[in-house]
Structure 1
Amino acid sequence: MTERTALRVGVVGLGTMGAPMARHLIAAGHEVTVWNRTRSKEEPLAALGARRADSPAAAAEGADAVLTCVSDDPDLRAVVLGENGVAQMLPSGAVLVDCSTASPSLARELAWDLAESGRMFVDAPVSGGSEGAEKGTLTVFLGGSADAVARAMPVVQTFGARITHLGEAGAGQAAKAVNQVVLAGTYAGVAEGVVLAERFGLPFEQLLPALSAGSADSWVLRQRAGNMVKGSYPLGFRTSLHLKDVRIALREAAVLDLPLEVAQLVATIEEKLIAAGFGDEDVSNVARHTRSEDA
């Protein structure tokens, strides 16, 4: 396979990230088959030329690659190993490219299960938010064998701008856990800075460019401080999903006997926001907690 070869690609999971990934695959000339639990989400992609499958297994039938992008470990296990799952029909020599954020241990399990029957697995979680998915500029963390990664590359390159192979299966998910821990502290820090600037009476529209030009600069500052100033938190990245990701990192850190105090604090804040009914807002809503608004 080469980058220019048109592949048969199944896409399972058409949410905020999966649907744009499927569109990029179609635009790149690949033959795309889609499946989503909420079947209506398949329709816009069918209008672009994708075929619709009746199950994850059907999406995998005859495929060179299958991309999965679902919410959590139970969903991933179900669509891959469950009844009518991808593993039932994925051909020998094909690769499963998982862009979900899941646990490293599950990634290793899936790689092992598929390898026993001559299939390949790459964990390929992403960073860059819904904007990066729409633009095809995501950062992608890869875990898998060199051969598996080579087979996955024509798929990943359609939506990834920075693609890094970090080791065997599970390494991509471990890197994503690191990413989410860093983001947890950054979101909390930016939220506190925004609210402090408000209390000082500083004009944030002038302060933001100054902060962005100095050592306080970050993607969160540039892309999400505006949400915090307005008190409006459109997606983005759902708070409930970020909490799920941080909990994965905390579980992995506990096995390593490593306390992650900042990540634990942010998890506690997000639990309060979710309990107050704000779990579907963008994770920049940690500013609600800083302002003591509603949560």
Structure 2
Amino acid sequence: MSSKASHDIGWIGLGRMGEAMAARLVKAGHGLSVWNRTASKADPLAQIGAEVVTDKAAMAHCATVFTMVSTTDDLKDILFGAGGVLSGNARPKRVVDMSSISDTGSAEIRKGLTDVGVAYLSAPVSGNAKVAKAGKLLVVASGPKAEYDAVQPLLAALGRAAMYVGEGELSRVWKIAHNTMFGVIIQSLCEITLMAEKAGIARHVFLESINQSVLGSMYTRYKTPALVNLDFTTTFTPKLLLKDMELGIGAAKQFGVVMPTASVTRDSIASLAHQYPGDIDFSVLLLELARSAGMKLEAENVKVGDGL
């Protein structure tokens, strides 16, 4: 471990997503310094060549600092809090935040960084940890175009594509819209799957047919194994999905857009988050909706696709 970052690229936040994404950069040949609140989570990165830094303030010696954390408050604390990246005299050239946070919170962070001469790029992603490990993430960025151009090769190394959508916090609006749709689709997919199963169509047959139809997508394909085999190994928890749905409803109110389908889905996910507050995948929604329909599901133990 080191008390001072020695690489030009730093990474803060090594949860499911952060660890998988940081590993992509290391495996692409980039020197990387990493920090995480729970130091042991950095061990897999150290094993493949990343430098583990013990003090997050020392990450200010990197030119580019990537962050991938859970909430706006977490990001503010990491950057501006006691012992944070900006607590000393050193300054990174830019911060690239890849978390799912609100547009208003992101704007506050942008102002705070700009005031001390640090550039800021908002760059949330589409995909979960499994998608990240497979190199299939989509990165969507907003902020100064010159900053996007400077880090575009790094963003491209993280997944299948990187896109620039404009100035300011437009990428946050994109991610809020994306994850709101995320919730609406899983709600609809679970509902229609149960209807088909109760009518007599095997769950794996129905889902595979949807995947082969015009309605199929990467999303329906990678959720199919979980729904067929009732494998709710965590990719994204009900609590985190609820947070994003609430951001979506809030954005809709802000922009004067009526979203009745999303509003009903938000209530369903809120109930799910109360029933399953811990570490479980949000696709457990299938069980809750089945219970409402008087159905007791069993794992079909069928291999379906590759989950992506």
TM-score by length of 1: 0.90
Same amino acid, percent of matched pairs: 27
Task: Confirm or deny: 8 A CA contact 1:125 1:176 kept in the other structure.
Answer: yes
Q: CA distance change for structure 1 residues 21 and 90 in 2, over 3 Å: closer, same or farther?
A: farther
The aligned counterpart of 1:26 is 26
Q: List runs of 5+ in structure 1 lacking aligned partners.
A: 1-6
Task: Confirm or deny: 8 A CA contact 1:62 1:90 kept in the other structure.
Answer: no
| Aligned residue type for 1:184 | G
Task: Confirm or deny: 8 A CA contact 1:95 1:151 kept in the other structure.
Answer: no
Per the alignment, in what secondary structure is the counterpart of residue 33 of structure 2?
strand
The aligned counterpart of 2:208 is 209
| Aligned residue type for 1:143 | S
Q: How does 1:187-226 map to 2 (within 5 A)?
A: 187-226=186-225
Compare 262-271 and 123-132 and name the one that shifted more: 262-271
- In structure 2, C-alpha distance between the alignment counterparts of 1:50 and 1:232, rounded to whole Å: 32
Per the alignment, in what secondary structure is the counterpart of residue 191 of structure 2?
helix
Q: How does 1:112-261 map to 2 (within 5 A)?
A: 112-261=111-260
Structure 1 residues 201-245: Cα deviation after superposition (integer angstroms, max 9, x where no partner): 113333333222222212332111332233331122222111111
Structure 1 residues 27-60: Cα deviation after superposition (integer angstroms, max 9, x where no partner): 12222111111111011211222222223222x2
Structure 1 residues 154-178: Cα deviation after superposition (integer angstroms, max 9, x where no partner): 3212212121111112111110001
The aligned counterpart of 2:305 is none
Cα drift, residue 15 of structure 1: 0.5
Q: CA distance change for structure 1 residues 277 and 238 in 2, over 3 Å: closer, same or farther?
A: closer
Q: CA distance change for structure 1 residues 90 and 139 in 2, over 3 Å: closer, same or farther?
A: farther
Task: Confirm or deny: 8 A CA contact 1:12 1:67 kept in the other structure.
Answer: yes
Superposition misfits of 4+ residues, deviation over 6 angstroms: none
| Aligned residue type for 2:48 | L
Cα drift, residue 89 of structure 1: 5.2
Structure 1 residues 77-123: Cα deviation after superposition (integer angstroms, max 9, x where no partner): 11111112223359557111101000111222222222233321111
- In structure 2, C-alpha distance between the alignment counterparts of 1:288 and 1:206, rounded to whole Å: 18
Q: List runs of 5+ in structure 2 lacking aligned partners.
A: 1-6, 295-308
The aligned counterpart of 1:286 is 285
Compare 76-85 and 279-288 and name the one that shifted more: 279-288
Structure 1 residues 104-150: Cα deviation after superposition (integer angstroms, max 9, x where no partner): 11222222222233321111111111122112220111011111112
The aligned counterpart of 1:95 is 94
- In structure 1, C-alpha distance between the alignment counterparts of 2:146 and 2:207, rounded to whole Å: 45
- In structure 2, C-alpha distance between the alignment counterparts of 1:10 and 1:210, rounded to whole Å: 44
| Aligned residue type for 2:207 | L
